[in-house]
Chain A
Amino acid sequence: MNQLFAIIILTYRESIRKRIFLIIAVFTVLLIILSAFSPVVKPIDRIRLTEAWTLQGIGFFVMLIAVFMAATSLPEDIELKRLFLLLAKPVTKEMLLLGKLLGFVLTTGLFILIMGAISLVYLYIVNWSSGHLTIRDKILPTEMRFTNKTGQDAQGYVTGNYISDKEFTVMIEGEGNNYIGWLFRLRLAEARLWRTQSAAERRRASSNINLNKSKLSEPARPTEGSFGQARAELSLMIGEGQFKVSSEALVRFVNPTTKQEYHKQITLSYKRPEAVEFPAELIDRNGELYVYVSRPEPATYIRAGPASVVLKSLGVIWLQVILLLGFCISGATFLSGGVNVVLNIFIYFVGSGTQFWASSLETMRQAMTSIIRQETLQTITQAPAHSHSPEVYPLWMMKASEFVVDSTLKVFPDFSRFNSGDTYLLNGYAVPWNVFPPLVGYVIFYGIIAFVVGAVAFRLRDIK
């Protein structure tokens, strides 16, 4: 234990006595101070900007410390032959690796804590005059917040107004318990079945869809004796710049009179209308039906002040750094410092885009299923084969892409999981405690894998 402690302290001393550590610390403080000049109108916006700005700054700079120090520490020991002397002492290579890892965990933790404390003190000072700091309230599940395309409150859609336009655009905001609902009043004259649309019509309709648009084709008006399944067609999309091309949604159909309900979870994709079937008896006698769309697992939010929010966000950042440190230390056992730095930047970069890759892959898979279905249909009906559309990649190319992306996603750690601090803060929400257990588990899982790989490589290596 004494030996492990000695290596941890040595690593810590090595880090803080390097000039780069001091330089990074100075620039982080500079970044925090710069946030005072953010061009905002309201004090509350300044608070949010300061929080987001400083957290992003601390997150970025601590990543630099992790990569440039942890990835080069062991190769430097090998290159300067300090390891030669160190391993002549009664220290196992595994203990040395663990000590280095924990030493950098300690160093980055202290950096985050000190910079976090500075940013919090600064946050209080800057906003002293405004008299109030952000307090996040719990968002109640009954509360509805959604806007239409022009950003106006779109709550009117659920007040029972008849929707004459069958296509309209709404945007579900935030990550929380917001939902959107419509009351559909069916009129025989305007009822139109999704299945009656020709393929050409459907394509035209799809191509006209804007972003953030939900379209609900009216279900067929039930006729006497024909109660069965009705269908609704939805196409809900995610806003631009969200790095997300598909999303899970919970669709609820509620009978306005009896309150009987049916719900189904679906995956909504970019520019692809989704058909949802529901029991036709949910349409009441007046031909009315409520349809609600929300996130499948609404998050719960807590009431929290800036100190708690900032510290929890920093905790998430630290977990991300620990994960990266595991890879840096592991790579250092068999790579030179320079190569290890580049490799870990690469791992971090690819790992940060994991969610984007996963959702793109999901969309491509849906398209592939559709193409395969069409081809099967053509085989069964022996219809003449259509020439391949030049706008779509051939199937083999998509399969190859699927294999590469799928394999990459299985191997690379998902750093995008650790964006929760940013996601909550930028939307003005508190960071809940329940984000931590899965993230800690994830870090431990990948940390153990990285450590074992590093330890095996290090054990087999000659120290020349």
Chain B
Amino acid sequence: MSPDKIAIKTENLTKVYKTTFSRYQVKAVDNLNLEIYEGEIFGLLGPNGSGKTTTIKILLGLLFPTSGLVRVLGKPPDEVIVKDRIGFLPEESYLYRFLNAEETLDFYGRLFRIPRKERLARIDHLIKLVGLDDARKRPVKEYSKGMARRLGFAQALINDPALIILDEPTSGLDPLVARQVKDIILDLQKQGKTIILSSHLLADAETICNRVAILHQGQLQKMGAVKELLQPGETLETLFLKTIQASRS
């Protein structure tokens, strides 16, 4: 982790949602300035509708910003070359229900143009890593929510990404598997990867994030290292609640 090397930078990033036939507008992200360093675990925190998912979608090039600048790994996010180095786990797994675990990972592996031999080895490794070895041939539609989540986590790592964006990675997982996922995230950091974590589970964020940003109504409320933001004896949860209440008032 080094402040010299910036993985993601946004400057005055704004996204306004407009509906086609009415003047109703929603400012989902409002003048957001973020800097995420290479090799850190960065927590993107905020209540529902605070603009976390919209920010992630912009970082992935899925949404066009209304105004402002975005650079992901030094390039505009809609460039295909950037996506080659990103792994992404969405809020829900959004997998193809008619494919099984092997087919799912093979499909996403092909999208990254991973050679067959390497692809098969990675599929095998990831299936074992997320504990789906027994269910590798079962179609996803038969999976429990936790199993689908684990497969979603595996597909996010199929390309050995430099930047990993995880939206609620532990939701729907039992405590045991959630612990395993957290260990994997810490392990990935040790391998030098940058991780963005969007989560409601503040206790998790507190234990594994190096820095966090708290968003509310699309605006950045607080950003900094977890250790620096917290007063002695304060938890991230209390800080979060205080920040949101202050913003509302």
Interface residues of A (CB under 8 A from B): 2-3, 5-6, 9-10, 13-14, 17-18, 80-82, 84-92, 462-464
Contact = CB atoms under 8 A, between A and B. Distances in A.
A462 B111 contact: no
Interface stretch (B6-14, B38-46, B95-103, B125-133): B95-103
Nearest to B167: A84
Contacts of A17: 98
Nearest to B58: A462
Contact of B88 (A5, A13, A85, A462): A85
A85 B57 CA distance: 10
Contacts of B83: 88-91
A185 B21 CA distance: 75
Given A17-B98, A18-B98, A85-B95, 13 more contacts: A3-B110, A6-B111, A10-B99, A10-B107, A13-B99, A81-B90, A81-B92, A88-B88, A89-B112, A91-B80, A463-B62, A464-B17, A464-B63
Contacts of A9: 107
What 7 A-B pairs are tightest by C-beta distance, nearest first? A6-B110, A17-B98, A90-B83, A89-B111, A88-B88, A463-B62, A90-B80
Contacts of B86: 88
B60 A2 contact: no
A14 B96 contact: yes
Interface in B45-104: 57, 60-64, 80-81, 83-84, 86, 88, 90, 92-96, 98-99, 103
Interface of B: 17, 57, 60-64, 80-81, 83-84, 86, 88, 90, 92-96, 98-99, 103, 107-108, 110-113, 155
Contacts of B60: 87-88
Given A3-B110, A462-B64, A464-B63, A84 B94 contact: yes
A259 to B, nearest CB: 71
A85 B94 contact: yes
Contacts of B113: 2-3, 90
Contacts of A5: 110
B98 A80 contact: no
A17 B96 CA distance: 11
**Interface of chain B, main secondary structure:** loop
Contacts of A80: 94
Contacts, number: 72
B173 to A, nearest CB: 18
A464 B63 CA distance: 7
A13 B99 CA distance: 8
Contact of A2 (B81, B88, B110): B110
A23 to B, nearest CB: 16
Candidate in A82, A85, A86, A463 with the most chain B CB atoms within 10 angstroms: A85
Candidate in A6, A82, A86, A89 with the most chain B CB atoms within 10 angstroms: A89
Given A3-B110, A6-B111, A85-B88, A462 B62 contact: yes
Contacts of B103: 13
A463 B99 contact: no
Nearest to A87: B62
Contacts of B61: 87-88
Given A84-B57, A462-B62, A6 B107 contact: yes
A172 B78 CA distance: 63
B200 to A, nearest CB: 19
Contacts of B92: 81
A4 to B, nearest CB: 10
Contact of A90 (B63, B107, B111): B111
A458 to B, nearest CB: 12
Contacts of A462: 62-64
A90 B112 contact: yes
B3 to A, nearest CB: 27
B90 A84 contact: yes
A348 B96 CA distance: 30
A86 B80 CA distance: 12
A123 to B, nearest CB: 34
A209 B81 CA distance: 73
A222 to B, nearest CB: 75
B15 to A, nearest CB: 9
B111 A3 contact: yes
B62 A10 contact: no
A464 B108 CA distance: 21
A87 B94 CA distance: 12
B148 to A, nearest CB: 12
Nearest to A6: B110
A5 B106 CA distance: 12
Nearest to A16: B98
Nearest to B111: A89
Nearest to A92: B80
B96 A84 contact: no
Contacts of A88: 60-62, 83, 86, 88, 90
B156 to A, nearest CB: 9
A9 B17 CA distance: 35
A80 B110 CA distance: 22
Nearest to B86: A88
